[in-house]
Amino acid sequence: MSTGIEIGSVTIHRIVEQEGPFFEAMHFFPTMTRERLDENRGWLQPRFLDASDRLMLCIQSYIVQTPHHTIMIDSCVGNHKPRPTRSFWHMMNSDRYEKNLAASGFSVNDIDFVMCTHLHTDHVGWNTRLENGRWVPTFPKARYLFSKKEYAYWSEVHQKTPLDNISESVLPVIEANKAELVTSDHALNDHIRLTPTPGHTPDHFAVCAGRGGDRAVFTGDLIHSPIQARYPELVMRVDTDRDQAVATRRRFFERYCDTDTLCCTMHFPSPSVGHVKRWGDGFRLEYVKD
């Protein structure tokens, strides 16, 4: 059984759904130049970039155990969901996620809260599962925390152009009265609070864990790949506000640089977590052992 990372009174587990090459780097980071990519190949390949210049990413959830609760942060892509424009996420039918959940000692009944840093497909998927042709909440005892503003934004988009991730992974949770719409600086209690990190989406939040301070922080998609730590100005293709995303990323990394806070990224390849260090005008993670 995987024991997780213990820091103070919280324990952190990574529940991996997928890991490997996904998006083409030059496409994913539209302001990346060929020269810059070439300059950085030495440390990027093969761990963070494959031979075809595709980014190596991890799709995962974090589970944080505090003295009070068992909390899931982000819920990956999920099974049986049609994502025709993303072949690697289309109609997944894998037991890997549930097996990894079990290997860390959890069942779906153990989760008290699910927190979605934002409402993109790969962060809301396991919010629901298919049961007799209907999408039902996967974690029957959980309250699901979404940003009220983030939810309002995507609801409006969804009304104009229906979005599968909203109709399949978000609305069924709302309809089941399992959702709590909160502000992106919401404090759950003395161990868990949200912190606003907008830019990738309008009201994206990060999650801070640990009694009396930030012992660990969960980035969501304020960063996708270590190349964006090295160059915080590299925007991601679908950032809703690029300038804001850059400012958020830089502020976040400045804040945690050279501190004891464990930075838990959502998409960096395993082990995905480490301490923030300076690297030139940017940053890097000093990874903890897996």
User: Is the Cβ of residue 168 or residue 221 nearer to Zn ion in the bound state?
Assistant: 221
Interaction mask 232-271, Zn ion, x per CB under 5 A: ----------------------------------------
Tell me the window of 92-100, 108-116, 213-221, 248-256 that interacts with Zn ion (CB under 5 A): 213-221
Please give the structure tokens belonging to residue 178: 């399992």
User: Is the Cβ of residue 143 or residue 267 nearer to Zn ion in the bound state?
Assistant: 267
Q: Give the largest CA-CA distance in the chain.
A: 54
- Contact positions with Zn ion (CB under 5 A) in 167-196: none
Q: Quote the radius of gyration of the chain (alpha carbons, Å).
A: 18
Distance CA 111, CA 70 (A): 5
Near Zn ion by CB under 5 A: residue from 201, 221, 252, 274? 221
Q: Which residues of 70-92 are buried (b: 16+ CB within 10 A; e: fewer)?
A: bbbbbbbbbbebebeeeeebeeb
Distance CA 118, CA 121 (A): 9
Near Zn ion by CB under 5 A: residue from 53, 122, 168, 214? 122
Is the four-CA dihedral 145, 151, 154, 158 of positive or negative sign?
positive
- As measured in angstroms, the least distance from the Cβ of 119 to Zn ion is 11
Tell me the window of 106-114, 145-153, 217-225, 278-286 that interacts with Zn ion (CB under 5 A): 217-225
Q: Does 74 bind Zn ion (CB under 5 A)?
A: no
Q: Does 53 bind Zn ion (CB under 5 A)?
A: no
- As measured in angstroms, the least distance from the Cβ of 22 to Zn ion is 10
Tell me the window of 84-92, 106-114, 179-187, 218-226 that interacts with Zn ion (CB under 5 A): 218-226
- Residue 114: CB partners within 8 Å, gap ≥ 6? 71, 72, 75, 127, 139, 142, 143, 144, 145
One-letter identity of residue 199: G
- As measured in angstroms, the least distance from the Cβ of 19 to Zn ion is 13
Using CB under 5 A, list all residues that contact Zn ion.
122, 221
